[in-house]
Amino acid sequence: MPDVTSYDAELDALFFRRWLTAAADAVDREAGRLTELDSAIGDADHGVNLQRGFAAVTAVLEKEEPATPGAVLVLAGRQLISTVGGASGPLYGTLLRRTGKELGDEPAVGRQRLAEALGAGVAAVAQLGGAKAGDKTMLDALLPAVAALAESFGAARDAAGQGALDTVPLQARKGRASYLGERSIGHQDPGATSSALLIGALAEVAA
């Protein structure tokens, strides 16, 4: 296996399929916790929705076997949009589709290239949801993760995890949780938590 922590390492379609499979496993393990977090400030369906969506992603990737990293992510994003209810489907679908489109038809990419493309995906999520850092959303995990990915996969994982934890004292400014106003303070954002799982799976596969 190539040293995927190095600048010149090449990550091919198989790597990206393994990443999304690992993400599906992580969501499956943590679905109950995600739903518990969402029950406090949302609709109590975040875990089960993502669980269904990522199961569909792994199924379609096994069936179609896309040949490039970009194609893997575009297909996965499309599947999430079509199978996940609520805001999670469009947001995660946009993240993966925009990242995949940014990678284009490249047969393999390096970590730095992935960081650039993921940054474009995160920007698309921000535009779609109208959110920014500090609004107590998935961006609070994704933005620091993208910045840290330039250093290493492990740094991205740690930054995403810390970003999710840092949402606890924040007041939600966007999404369903924003309706609660100050009552959203003291709860960890489920979207930031699931985003940290996604980045954690990336680091796991890269290890």
Going along the chain from its start, the domains and CATH numbers come out as: 11-206 (1.25.40.340)
pLDDT, tens digit, 9 for 90 and up, residues 83-137:
987 788 999 999 999 999 999 999 999 999 999 999 999 999 999 999 999 999 9
The predicted model scores a pTM of 0.93
Listing DSSP states for the chain in one string gives ---TTSTT--EEHHHHHHHHHHHHHHHHHHHHHHHHHHHHHS-S-HHHHHHHHHHHHHHHHHHH--SSHHHHHHHHHHHHHHH--TTHHHHHHHHHHHHHHHHTT-SEE-HHHHHHHHHHHHHHHHHHHT--TTSSSTHHHHHHHHHHHTT-HHHHHHHHHHHHHTTTTSPP-SSGGGGGGGGGTTS--HHHHHHHHHHHHHHHHH-
